[in-house]
Amino acid sequence: MTHSDGIVKPKTRRSKRFLQSREPKLIENLKNSMIIKGGNTSETLSQALKDVYALKKPNAVLYKKKNMVRPFEDSTALEFFSKKSDCSLFLFGSHNKKRPNNLIFGRMFDFHVLDMFELGIEKFVSLKDVKNDTCPVGTKPMLVFAGELFDTDREHQRLKNVLTDFFCGPRVSAVRLAGLEHVLHFTALEGKIYMRSYRVLLKKSGCRTPRIELEEMGPSFDFVMRRSHMASDDLYRTAHKKPKGVKPKKKKNISHDAFGTRFGRLHMQKQDLNKLQTRKMKGLRKRRGEEPAESASPKTPRIESDV
Amino acid sequence: MASCSIEDVLAKAERDEAEKLRSITVNKELDLEFDPGNLLAFDKNRIDTREFKDSKGEDFLRSLARDNTQLLINEIWKLPTEKVEEVIVAKLPDPTTPLPREKPAPKPKPPTKWEQFAKLKGIQKKKKNNMVWDEVHKEWKRRWGYKRANDDTKEWLIEVPQTADPNEDQFAKRNKAKKERVARNEYNRLKNIARAQKIKVPGTGLAPTAQQSKSELAQAVSIAKKSTASVGKFQENLPKEKTPRNTGKKRKFQPLIGDFSSEKQKQLDLLKIMDSKKPRLDITKAVNKQMREEDKESSQKSKKSFGKKGRKGNMSGKGKGKAGGKGKGPKGKGRKPQMKQGKR
């Protein structure tokens, strides 16, 4: 598509808008995710995939058919799907005897795999089994990570980044205070990761900030870390490179003092003080008779009054 | 007396404040790291595994989550708020966790030929309005596009200028000029793209490629042959070369008002065929064709074990009927529509 990006022009406005939404931009769109099944899936796994799809509803595609793909060996098929559906996040689920109930969380950069983390589901409670109310689709969830493993271990750090990327919703500039209903809590303990999803109830406390009560909602997973594929350092750095337009330009030469007064510096060119244009005072003009006397003493240019 | 009562009052006020805040304060060893832009909180405190195992895991996790969420909410409530359409909204700062981009940053496109010229001359882009008043039709029409104003190809009357050839078709001339303008515009657009991507484009003829295939070589030979002043008319063939006879128009249609006698003859032939009682289908030919098809199908089926459906299979009756009758029907004019007594 990039090859023929200008050569084949779109014939309708709609297709033009479609292509424009997919091309690289300064400030990017929200990342879409694709949820794919592998060669063999179990009941728990399919239900888990459906639940994650429900969490990520408008920005996710759930593929129903099974695909014989092994992401850790050959990721070209995943890259092809991602290019076709313009999804940069993926969740691949498969089940076999060696790795039962396997989920691979991954993300792409420029339609090539950046990071992949394989997590096995040990315990899973589905949305259907928890009978409490759920919050509306599309609410931006709050994310909480707990456990020093997320700070000390490199793999866990990267996994934290991947999970944030996966579950954080659209980027918003403001949030409705009463609308903070959903929280996803990840705990890393002894090589296992517990993911719980709660509904937040804001109760009255004595002061402005409410007291929180949590109600279990939504799927809960007990993950165990299996394989992982992390991007090389320079690929990771390239992926984080910010284009020039995005950073706000720093205004130089402006400083503030203690009172808040704004100061700026003016840089002048070199001035020839003899030829300076000043206010002409009639009394100071050279008179004919006094010329020789005045020419002896050089006239001091009057600069003090003006500047 | 008064002083200690003031102290008492202050102490009491402090205790009241602490009471109020008690419900929302959480004690933690290490403070959490917050990223309010992403609604993210990170708790680095060590989790006591014994405690986790003693109480049931769920309750422990739930209380931990409650504490952490409380701290995050406290942090979010500290942000500046404003009222948007009767709803209180907290303004979030920029997110601090570095998340990678989806696609690489777009590269700035090099300016086109016109843009370079405009920059050189200092020509500014003027914003034009979409609709133009068309004097002839007395209404507002688009400046360009479908049903545009002042479209000279759509005029019904064109005065032939003094200097022009009286037999020249002025309408065709205008249409041709438009086609040439469109073609030139497209050519320039592609040249701009080639310049932007730094692809070498030849002026005329073929683009250079590393390894040529047989067809590309044949094409190169034919282009070289035609590149003479008389468009290859007097070029001799190479020892084993054959002149290609398929150049020119691929489909030929009879002119509308052509040879009257041949048209009359064709119509009469058609009527004769419609009257005759002879069937239009050559039965033997059709049967042979059908048998060949079936043989092919069965051999294919035996080869492929998945049972791929033969796409050729089910069109047999209609297809053979038409094929059989094609030879007999008059050229160009309608063949008889599909006969009901086709293939049984």
Which of chain B's residues have a Cβ under 8 Å away from the Cβ of A88? 102-103
| pLDDT at residue B205 greater than cutoff 90 | no
Secondary structure (3-state) at B84? strand
CA dist., res. B64 & res. B66, Å (int): 5
B99 touches chain A (CB under 8 A): yes
Residue B90: list chain A partners with CB under 8 A.
174-175, 177
> Which residues of chain B does A180 touch, with a Cβ-Cβ cutoff of 8 Å?
39, 73, 76
Beta carbons within 10 angstroms of residue B225's beta carbon? 16
Q: How many CA atoms lie within 13 A of A6 on its CB side?
A: 14
Domain boundaries, chain B: 8-90
Residues of A in contact with B49 (CB under 8 A): 189-190
- Residue A126 in any domain: the answer is yes
What is residue A36's three-state secondary structure? strand
Q: What is d(CA A39, CA A198) in angstroms, rounded to the nearest whole number? A: 32
First to last CA, chain A: 63
Contacting residues of A for B193, CB less than 8 Å apart: 6-7
Query: And the tokens for A224?
Result: 């165990």
Report if residue A272 sits inside a domain: no
Interface test with A, best of B103, B107, B186, B198 (most A CBs within 10 A): B103
Closest CA to A161 of A145, A141, A177: A145
- pLDDT tens, N- to C-terminus, chain A (307 residues): 454 567 788 889 999 999 999 988 888 889 999 999 998 999 999 999 999 998 888 889 999 899 888 999 888 999 999 999 999 999 999 999 999 999 999 999 999 999 999 999 999 998 888 888 888 888 899 999 998 888 888 999 999 999 999 998 888 888 888 888 899 999 998 888 999 999 998 888 877 888 888 888 888 999 999 999 999 999 999 999 888 777 777 778 888 888 888 888 888 888 888 887 778 888 877 777 655 544 444 445 444 445 4
Q: How far apart are CA A93 and CA A120, in angstroms?
A: 10
CA torsion angle for B84, B88, B94, B98 (degrees, to 10)?
-120
Residue B172's pLDDT is 93
**Which tokens hold the place of B24?**
């929302």
pLDDT tens for B133-152 read 988 889 999 998 888 888 88
The boundaries of the domain holding residue A162 are: 32-230
In a domain, A193, yes or no: yes
Does residue A268 lie within any of the structural domains?
Answer: no
Determine how β-strand B131-134 pairs with β-strand B139-142. Answer: antiparallel
In a domain, A304, yes or no: no
Can you give the pTM of this predicted structure?
0.67
Task: Write the burial class of residue A248 (CB in 10 Å: 0-12 exposed, 13-18 middle, 19+ buried).
Answer: exposed
CATH number of the domain bearing residue A174: 3.40.50.10480
Q: Is A124 within a domain?
A: yes
Within a domain: A215: yes
pLDDT at B204: 63
Q: Residues 5 to 24 of B: which have CB under 8 A from any A CB?
A: 19-21, 23-24
- Write phi, then psi, for B61 (nearest 5 degrees): -65, -40
| Nearest residue of B to residue A33, measured between CA atoms | B102
Q: Do A146 and B43 count as a contact with CB atoms less than 8 A apart?
A: yes
**A252 inside domain:** no
Going by the DSSP 8-state scheme, the letter that residue B148 receives in this structure is B
Partners of residue A117 on adjacent β-strands: A105, A228
**Touching A: B residues 216-275, CB under 8 Å:** none
Least confident window among A163-167, A179-183, B255-259, B279-283: B279-283
Closest partner residue to A173 among B91, B97, B102, by Cβ? B91
- Indicate the residue of B58, B89, B189 with minimum beta-carbon distance to A175: B89
Domains identified in chain A, total number: 1
